[in-house]
Structure 1
């Protein structure tokens, strides 16, 4: 199946960047260790760290595929197959990055609602993959995209979750669900987090799909060189 083939290609491309992926895992780990004394802050920091790590991995994969996608289309792949396959591969990679931290929280923070922690982490991965792809499409250089992602995560950490601006940031859902998981609040936080995460995930998936289709239609896959004088074809 072509979608699975593209997903496998994406995973292989990310696997080549083992050192970069290792460094990506350091950020959420540092967040967790530094704020380890405060369970709520450490768990919420891990969510943001995972969101940044998966977004950056998606940025790398999108940048690496910039020259590959037109060839896949010429080879008979449909645009949606390339897009869905890459997104699927990034979700799988994101889940693999998140699992070690879920295990860490499970055994190191037994007082939290682990099901809610898992749900928040799932939304982080689900949102981060298309978010990183969108940045990778709009910004051609990896360094610029990485700085934009880092800025987005920094804003998420500094803004008051109750502010209106904070509610439109990508990973606000993880903070709301994290509050429900750590502070054992009522289901209001859980409901708001689930609604926000679902809307953001669906919206980003559709938005990136539209951008990919629009750009692919504008791209000229074949350019015919002008026939040289005296040369017969």
Structure 2
């Protein structure tokens, strides 16, 4: 646990040191929300998508920045699960810190007085828990930051234009937030809430498992390497 905490603390310090990046991470979902504020449903959905994009991008750049120090940490006795779980925990803390003021904004905005605040809070939580491993997964598959950012942009762009009622939408990572947004804004039955919750939890677990597998393979000790005997 101590080593896991060290990696989490190290990752958080690294991200908090970049104040300009943190401001941009908060400004992105705010901009999405402000553009659509007069339409309650679209504003909430845009806010969720902006939050998802921000945390995914933070995870992508965090993983890319930490790749240089990971071999040294492994040589110091850190296991691969310490590294990816510590980074994931730091991203969840960061996402929660960004999501809370956004949730307060929705709760205090008179234009959203009829929105179910509990549904909004749950959707934001799922946005963060899905986006963090999703960004780490893109970083694991596409090591270079520019290519990874383009992949993220393509996926989020498809998420924005795909028909949410179609079958293709259900394989997109942030479909759960659209379902719960429908429940929160349109006051539909609990079916939307249940489907969104199941989808979000399934994607969170699935993405986290994929990140764990890819990180373990990448950081594994090479069996063909041997320490030279002392003279």
CA displacement at 1:24 relative to structure 2: 2.5
CA contact (8 A) 2:26 2:98 kept: yes
Q: Which runs of 5+ in 2 are unaligned?
A: none
Q: Distance in 1 between matches of 2:209 and 2:222?
A: 20
Partners of 1:99 and 1:220 in 2: how far apart?
46
2:213 aligned with 1:210 = yes
Which TM-score applies when normalising by structure 2?
A: 0.93
2:155 is matched with 152
Change (3 A) 1:114 1:219: farther
Distance 1:186 1:219 in 2: 53
Question: For residue 107 of structure 2, what is the aligned residue in structure 1?
Answer: 106
Larger mean CA deviation between 136-145 and 200-209 belongs to: 136-145
Q: 2:166 aligns to what?
A: 163
Compute the displacement of 1:16 (Å): 2.2
Q: Distance in 1 between matches of 2:192 and 2:131?
A: 21
CA contact 2:80–2:220 (8 Å) conserved in 1: no
Q: Which runs of 5+ in 1 are unaligned?
A: 226-232
> 2:11 matched to which residue of 1?
10
Q: Point out the structure with max Rg over C-alpha.
A: 1
Runs of 4+ in structure 1 displaced over 6 angstroms? 220-225
Residue equivalent to 2:26: 25
Aligned residues: 226
Normalised by the length of structure 1, the TM-score is: 0.92
Cα deviation code 1:13-67 (max 9, x no counterpart): 1112221222222221111111111000000110000000000000111001111
Tell me what 2:93 maps to: 92
Q: What is the root-mean-square deviation in Å for CA atoms of aligned residues?
A: 1.8
The answer on whether the counterparts of 1:161 and 1:167 sit within 8 Å (CA) in structure 2 is yes
Query: 122, 126, 133: which is aligned to 2:125?
Result: 122
